[in-house]
Structure 1
Amino acid sequence: MPSTSRVEAFPVNTPAASQIFTTVLSHGPLTRLEAARRAGLSPAAVTKAVRPLLEAGYLLEDANDEARPALGRPANLVRVDGGRALFIGLKVTGDEIIGVLADLCCRIRVARRVPLRGREPGQVLTVAAELVQELLTEADGFGVRVQGLGIAVSGDVDRAEGTVRYSPFLEWRDVLLAELATMTCGLPTTVDNDVRALTVAEQWFGDGVGLSDFALVTVGAGIGCGLVVHGRVVAGAHGVAGEIGHVTVDPAGPPCHCGNRGCVEAIAADPAIVAQVREVTGSEVADIAEAIELAHRGDAGARAVYAKAGEAIGRGIATVANLLGPARVLISGEGLAAYDLFAEQIRDAFTAAAFGSAARCDVHTRPLPFEEWARGAAATAIQSFITADPN
């Protein structure tokens, strides 16, 4: 069995240290005074938290010539040393695993894709372990230890327990993935829902930086939603917060795999679109790419299917805006390949269904390849490394 003895502990595990580190990670370089202001802590608390992180090399201090006062000491800048540690992130789809080797600032150093040989947990873990070993070998070239592994999986995932309760694309139920991956790969492992993992990366390093409240909606094989409320990624009491894919927008609509009818996912996810295009047009489109092509050629039936999908997505986003009032909603996912076919309907349905000032929410697209989803998995591993509190 692989050993985790090569992994070191974060030098200080207090809420203040975690808060300051993540603040500098997302917004740095910062002066200590600015870090204190952004984190809502006293300068004395910042000094206490920063000292062991500087001594351990996780933070570096640079002279800030632009802020040099006429008298007294200069206000030096504190920044994260991205090269101090490495992390591995894996995004598991139904067909392949996308893996990245990322540094402490979550910059991708190496990216790999490998096909799955089957979807059983044992088969997936075997491929995952092989990919992790390949990335560990790559890490040796950087001369830095890999401190953790993050795995992102679609579906109902309990991060606290490291359990995949249900993943429809993998057809898994109650898989203790974190425990199995730790034993198989030899690294402390964090397992999270793939959309929530991507949301962590966007909160720390992407279009969510500096926002206390925003949502990330993903369209494609499924419809997902990650939520940040008051600066925290929200999973909810049962780990399924943000499941707008299973919000009913048409009670008389098509059946959903969740058992309900007319869910956003049953209307607007790629498999649903393909099935509806086949039914409406009588054309045997093989996959979503052919459905998009048919719609782009002007087929009225296919375009009507996309219009209905856009309306469902817009209503789902309006539900999020009405309930939580986020400053921004990012739309991402592989389904953006067809965005021109339903963008107008998304906007119109959102505007019609958003209540009052909720309609002022900034809604825009954020195309991200699957490597960025794997980066999100690495971000959850970084998060687990620097804090005992996953939020």
Structure 2
Amino acid sequence: MSISEHPMPLTGHARAIVKSLLLNGPQSRSDLAATLELSPGSLTRLSRPLIDTGYIIEHPTLDQPTGIGRPSVPLNFNHDRFRFIGVKLTKTHAYAALTLADSRIEHLITRTLDIPTVDNAVATITELVEELTAKSPVPIHALGVALGAHVANYRTITHADHLGWDEVPLSELLEQSTGLPTYVENDIVAHTESTHWFGEGRETDDFALFTLGAGIGYGLVTHGQAVTSPEAGYSLLSHFPLRTEGLSSRMEHLATLTGVPNTKLLRVECGHEACATAMLTLGALEQRASKLLGRTVTFSQLIGLAQAGDPVASAIADASGYALGTLLAAITNLTMPTRIVLGGEAVLLAEVAATSMHDGLHDNRDPRSTDPELRLQNPDLALWTQGAAVVAVHTSLVGRT
């Protein structure tokens, strides 16, 4: 299917009807009309073209009441009509998923990206799209790509430091290669949107998303809307300072255990002492553990050692857990979310160091304040393909206001 054959994004009441059914599932006509502040007659008139064109369907239920009069048949989004492909791109891998419009994954495949050049990335993504297209029961509606980068207008990579890319028209290149409408977004922005619509942020109008892994990510939803900024792709919390009295005492304990001076423990390649990157990223944790344990230590090995009670590994996790709690306190104090969703490849730190994390949170909050609800996401990076798919759904199908 060529790009010209794809329908334009929905607008107006049609957009509102489809989005409500997509996000909230089947609804009776009366409930949907009330939600959208429409009269029953207006809803019937507006929904008929959407039924005729296959965007929504009537959704009869087995437990409909019997009696006098015609029962109301709920409406639902027509999931069978649409498929999307979401790609999460890193320096070393391309993860791709065939999804429904609500980001449910039907097929997930991965390719190694041996050399992260633009040409190799485009060729690899094209191969993944072809493989998933062959598995789809219907034509693919759109392609979404998410990566750690600053992105302009869902089309151009302005800066991707970890890939060494600048001013790359990635959407155009992939549209030429795949024939699909393609939308590109910063991975944290995409993941925030997916978490908001279909994930751990679904039941609340305000939450913060904080991710710790290869880098530091932060997203915010307030009043039911994601907070956006042209600077969202710059990882603005990466070097947030976390050195406090509580963290210093924990690092002194670690220095006593190992004989390594405190100043050397706090500083990593970023050049800062006790910033978010230095305390919470995979690279920093692995670098610190390897230095202090005298051998190469991966993050999963560090977590395993801490869980087993190794004193050095436990002290490393304890210090970083406290730093994590300090940053959660700052996020809560500054933006006041009622929920914080924690994700990323290093999210298990929040489980292993839960006590010190809560200590860091409480030591840096007013004692009269209420803790935000904390929810942890699956650390599997491949699931970030859902965020890329949601960007494609939002932009190509539902439309942005």
* Deviation of 1:42 (Å): 5.4
Which range moves more in the overlay, 311-320 or 294-303? 294-303
Task: Identify if the C-alpha distance between structure 1 residues 322 and 33 changes in structure 2 by more than 3 Å, giving closer, same or farther.
Answer: farther
TM-score computed with the length of structure 1 as normaliser: 0.87
Task: Identify if the C-alpha distance between structure 1 residues 340 and 13 changes in structure 2 by more than 3 Å, giving closer, same or farther.
Answer: closer
* Deviation of 1:341 (Å): 2.6
Secondary structure of the residue that 2:370 maps to in structure 1? helix
Distance 1:360 1:371 in 2: 30
1:317 aligns to what? 328
Aligned pair partner of 2:186 in 181, 190, 193? 193
1:254 pairs with 2:302: no
Task: Identify if the C-alpha distance between structure 1 residues 16 and 261 changes in structure 2 by more than 3 Å, giving closer, same or farther.
Answer: farther
Task: Identify if the C-alpha distance between structure 1 residues 80 and 241 changes in structure 2 by more than 3 Å, giving closer, same or farther.
Answer: farther
1:268 aligns to what? 280
* Deviation of 1:40 (Å): 5.2
Aligned pair partner of 2:301 in 279, 290, 295? 290
Q: How does 1:1-391 map to 2 (within 5 A)?
A: 3-5=2-4, 7-10=5-8, 13-39=10-36, 43=40, 46-63=43-60, 68=65, 72-139=69-136, 142=137, 144-158=138-152, 160-240=153-233, 243-250=236-243, 253-254=266-267, 257=270, 261-279=273-291, 281-355=292-366, 359-389=370-400
Secondary structure of the residue that 2:327 maps to in structure 1? helix
Q: Is the 8 A contact 1:199 1:233 kept in 2?
A: yes
Distance 2:12 2:328 in 1: 33
* Deviation of 1:269 (Å): 0.5
Secondary structure of the residue that 2:201 maps to in structure 1? coil
Distance 2:2 2:186 in 1: 26
Root-mean-square deviation (CA), in Å?
Answer: 2.8
Distance 2:11 2:32 in 1: 16
Distance 1:386 1:210 in 2: 23
* Deviation of 1:44 (Å): 5.5
Percent identity over paired residues: 28
Distance 1:309 1:44 in 2: 58
Q: Is the 8 A contact 2:268 2:284 kept in 1?
A: no
TM-score computed with the length of structure 2 as normaliser: 0.85
Distance 2:378 2:84 in 1: 24
* Deviation of 1:260 (Å): 5.5
The amino acid of 1:4's aligned partner reads I
* Deviation of 1:249 (Å): 1.7
Q: Which has the larger radius of gyration?
A: 2
Task: Identify if the C-alpha distance between structure 1 residues 20 and 349 changes in structure 2 by more than 3 Å, giving closer, same or farther.
Answer: farther
Q: Is the 8 A contact 1:255 1:261 kept in 2?
A: yes
Q: Is the 8 A contact 2:214 2:281 kept in 1?
A: yes
Task: Identify if the C-alpha distance between structure 1 residues 171 and 37 changes in structure 2 by more than 3 Å, giving closer, same or farther.
Answer: farther
Distance 1:59 1:79 in 2: 6
| 1:332-386 deviation per Cα after TM superposition (whole angstroms, max 9, x unaligned) | 2221344443222222212332347763321121225233211221111111122
Which range moves more in the overlay, 236-245 or 130-139? 236-245
Task: Identify if the C-alpha distance between structure 1 residues 327 and 70 changes in structure 2 by more than 3 Å, giving closer, same or farther.
Answer: farther
| 1:249-277 deviation per Cα after TM superposition (whole angstroms, max 9, x unaligned) | 239853564x7553212211110111122
Structure 1: gaps of 5 or more residues: none
